[in-house]
Structure 1
């Protein structure tokens, strides 16, 4: 698949189809988001409050708060920054590096591990380690995928705790565009 494409039109409606998949290729979380722009951290997409998201082919679910997602360059994660009062301020999915088959679509494989920070909390937490362990066997993750996911989770735990890089408030101007 092509590398992250920062150029090009996301489409006539300005929306990008976001497809998180599982390692077997099945559709996981999926939604359409507005392309907001790019900076040194990657591509930023956003949605206003009361937007819709789907898990797999299931029914639409409403997201009460506005949020933006950062799709970094050549990194094994994505990061969703949620507007208040959502309890989870930051939710990072450990994924394969985001791929852009076209400027109007981004896709990646969700590798189960997540790093999140609750609103008002100082430190992040790592979740879904049990799911990661189960899926290593069920989906037969190769050793390099396991190592990359674990390294990414460790890096995120430190970067989020220390509020460095995109976790130092870089999301705020992007979130303001959809809040």
Structure 2
């Protein structure tokens, strides 16, 4: 039986956001790697299951204000980073973090890197009352990720390939 981990992104008020179960693949100098083959599912809050067509792996770094999903082709988005509070392991089978809205995305089609949801980040600073230190950490993580993802610094270069190969083509 694979070592399954419940991955729970929450919003700042504690409400459940995107959540899914993934297989623990292993750990390296970048953090913990989890994988889900194409055909897996995720859900937003308690809503309906959303099918995921392409395999992907998620990197949960240690003590960093982001997580990163690396998607198999032909998915248009190659890398999708969520700016979030550092992942908190509630047990060996459950990890949770607060999604802070900002995302850094690298497109597969042209290799461009962009920051997304800045409007949502500004809106939620007011709605949820993000403290100044949370805002500063999120903005700093966004700046760092834009440079690292665009520059293909590891783990945004080749580090994900071996992990992705472990799940690409499998079925849940």
TM-score by length of 2: 0.96
Aligned to 2:58: 69
Matches within 5 A, 1:120-135: 120-135=109-124
- Per the TM alignment, residue 13 of structure 1 is displaced from its structure 2 partner at its CA by 4.6
- Structure 1: gaps spanning 5 or more residues: 1-11
Aligned to 2:159: 170
Q: Indicate which of 101, 107, 123 corresponds to 2:96.
A: 107
Aligned to 1:18: 7
Equivalent residue pairs, number: 168
- Structure 2: gaps spanning 5 or more residues: none
Q: Indicate which of 32, 52, 70 corresponds to 2:41.
A: 52
Q: Distance in 2 between matches of 1:38 and 1:140?
A: 34
- Per the TM alignment, residue 165 of structure 1 is displaced from its structure 2 partner at its CA by 1.8
Q: Distance in 2 between matches of 1:169 and 1:153?
A: 21
TM-score by length of 1: 0.92
Q: SS at 2:19's partner residue?
A: strand
Q: Cα RMSD (Å) of the superposition? A: 0.8
Aligned to 1:116: 105
Q: Distance in 2 between matches of 1:115 and 1:13?
A: 30
Q: Distance in 2 between matches of 1:85 and 1:120?
A: 9
